Structure 1
Amino acid sequence: MAPRTPPSGLQLPQEETPEDPPSAPRSPLLPPDPTMNSAWQWEEPKYPPAAPDSSCKREEGPERRGVTEWCRRPLQVPLWLLLCCCVLVVFLVAVLLGVLIPRGVEKDPGDTMKTLVPCGPPCEESWMWYGHRCYYFSDGSDTWNNSLEFCRRHGSTLAVLNDPAIKKTIERYRENVNYWIGLSRNRDGRWMWADGSLYDGSVGNGDISQLGCAFLNSHLGALDCSTGRQWICVKDST
């Protein structure tokens, strides 16, 4: 059956053909290849192979399928974490030093540990604790009798040096000044310690009877008891 033709002057509507969807960008169009049937051909771009990473390691073995490759990368730690670790280490070191090296610990030649505490229990404030005794080195000066009275009010006495341990401690920590000690003349003119024991050693200027009280510096010397001097008190710690 022959197709029907429209009358002259009448045009039939043409069917709209859908537009093809946009295609992905393709590689540059290459000139025709005489070995191919098509006049033009498309070719994917070729990129040079990536340079091998020296930090990567490749292994291939019978137990592995194919090639195994891994890279060793440096571990990156945040800066704030490093700072926190540094502060923590410094704090721990300070705590350990404060615990392991307490202040006032000394070692005598006999390898015996003794504690030296400037003040506080078991001694009063401004007293020194050493070798289970309390020592007081005065800053001010006074007469021998007033110095003795001060020591007695604090349950002690002026230093008696007939004990080698007390004498050694005082010689170690005293300053280079004259200190009243617990040595004076009795009624018989003999030198006697404050604990009642007699002293048979020499005293500088001891032949002068008017000088009735003894002081300690690099040696023992005699002075008038009304002279103002610093003093040393000693008592057992409680």
Structure 2
Amino acid sequence: MKEHTIQLCTHFYEIHPDLLFMKEPVSEVCEALLKIFQNGGKVLICGNGGSCADGDHIVGELMKGFLLKRPLDANVKARFTQLYNGEGNFIAEKLQCGLPAISLNAHASLISAFSNDVDPDLIYAQQVMGYARKGDAVIGISTSGNANNVAYALMTAKVMGAASLALTGRDGGKIAKIADYSLIAPEQETYRIQEVHIALYHLLCAYIESEMFS
């Protein structure tokens, strides 16, 4: 682990001492997701309501620079310039390295069509069926842990050979039992669970970025 990453984790538990008991499972999840990106995999994320917004938020932190700058590789920059001259150089200097992540909440036409034609509980499972491959991961977010559409997405992830992570609260609910990895916020109220989730996934994103980029 890089020194910068160690400092990130140390600072996190200094400001969140109430989450220190989760240090081992959080580290395990960080390493699991890091390996997925290092091996060329992607992450699919789903949830409902505030957890839907959290899924979009995570994608925003992964697909562009979060705490670090992520300049393109010199060879990629050179290719832009070679193909498109000065305009290519302009593009290459602005673009950032991204970590492939897809919010399954974002596809309104597909979600509405599948909900109407088939079954709304399977809107995320259908997308996992289409997107997920072995070496990917599916993150399901549910404060109660009992959202059926999230549970079915994680079940489908296992069928497709993708890793699965549950971000939940209370007693973990059904998704904590389904997932390969579970991070259960030690809260009961929905908004408090979501506050813990934000802290946790910011650490996950910062950890992965720190290890992947200079």
TM range (shorter): under 0.3
Larger Rg: 1
Give the TM-score normalised by the residue count of structure 1: 0.22
Per the normalisation by structure 2, the TM-score is 0.24
Q: Which has the higher contact order (CA 8 A, sep 6+)?
A: 2
Greater share of helix = 2
